[in-house]
Structure 1
Amino acid sequence: MSTATPATRFLDKAGIAYDLFEYDYGGGDGPIGLQAAEAIGWQAARVFKTLMLEVDGKPACAVIPSDRSLSMKKVAAALKGKTAKMMEPVKAERLTGFHTGGISPFGQKKRVPVVFDATVISVEAPVVMNGGKRGLMVCLAPEPGIAALAAAVAEVSVV
């Protein structure tokens, strides 16, 4: 499996250190983030999933722990909007250039506002998130990635 993706190229260009984890992406039952955490042997709270959404009709991205759910009310407020809804998978793929199950916050085709759940700062570093391909995860310290994306950090998830 080739590990060069728009996400890894973004991280390389930004000078952000990362390690890669590859696993057999099954795409089976259950949340993809939890499957990834189990496959690589990491705590789900340290494996973050990337969710594409629309805030007041405009595209945005939220990165939250794989064992949590996104609060639409909180994410809308964090991105200075009134309402939020999940983006349709086909639209998310077209906008990001990634397939669902492989969407990374890094290297998306079109830059959109990004918010990381505040737990990304409180969990033990490093953290893991999608590397831009199904079955490919990047492991990195969260702060450089947040800075490179000019992302917000806010409480946007719920248990």
Structure 2
Amino acid sequence: MSKRNPAGGAHGPGTPATVALTAAGVPFTGHTYVHHDTATNFGEEAAAALGLSDDRVFKTLVADADGTLVVGVVPVGGRLDLKALASAVGAKKASLADPAVAERRTGYVVGGISPLGQKTAATTVIDASAASFSSVFVSGGRRGFDIEIAPDDLVRATGGRYAPIARA
């Protein structure tokens, strides 16, 4: 079940992501849901709990592109195309970052990594499909909490860009 206005206020619990958006004056809505400790596919869990299609909820993945960490944001029903991500950031190749490295660099735990408010800013690429929605959902910085945000606001808030980086 989704809670639109949880105890943390209209924007949800205070996380680095919500703090960054609030400080920047970027509009968003926080949505909490019950996270189950047995869940392994966090994005699909969020989509199901919030009653949304898999193409409107996006997961945040950290990749190593020629030795530099970058962030790819793709629909939870798809996969990150590492070759397309590498191309989008001008790298020869990319591979998923080690989860422990991703957690240290972002300041978030796997399953709760947000593209917003990361401890160390990284180049961010958002799949072009996001632009077709009036709003999309991304992790709010912890498991059981997603942020609803306009795609163009997400691009601006992350300093990112759109590119076709998802595959079925």
TM-score by length of 1: 0.95
Point out where structure 2 has 5 or more consecutive residues left out of the alignment: 1-6
- Code of the residue aligned with 1:31 in structure 2: it is N
- Code of the residue aligned with 1:156 in structure 2: it is I
Q: Which deviates the most, 22-31 or 100-109?
A: 22-31
Other-structure match for 1:25: 35
Other-structure match for 2:122: 112
Identity of aligned residues (%): 35
TM-score by length of 2: 0.90
Aligned counterpart for 2:50 among listed residues 40, 58, 74: 40
Does the CA contact (< 8 Å) of 1:44 and 1:67 recur in 2? yes
Equivalent residues in 2 for 1:41-120, closer than 5 Å:
41-120=51-130
Other-structure match for 1:136: 145
- Code of the residue aligned with 1:93 in structure 2: it is E
**TM-superposed deviation, 1:72:** 0.8
Distance 1:99 1:9 in 2: 17
- Code of the residue aligned with 2:14 in structure 1: it is A
Other-structure match for 1:127: 136
RMSD: 1.2
Distance 1:41 1:66 in 2: 13
* Alignment of 1:152 onto 2:161: yes
Report 1 or 2 for greater relative contact order, CA contacts < 8 Å, sequence distance ≥ 6: 1
**Count of residue pairs brought into register by the alignment:** 158
- Code of the residue aligned with 2:111 in structure 1: it is G
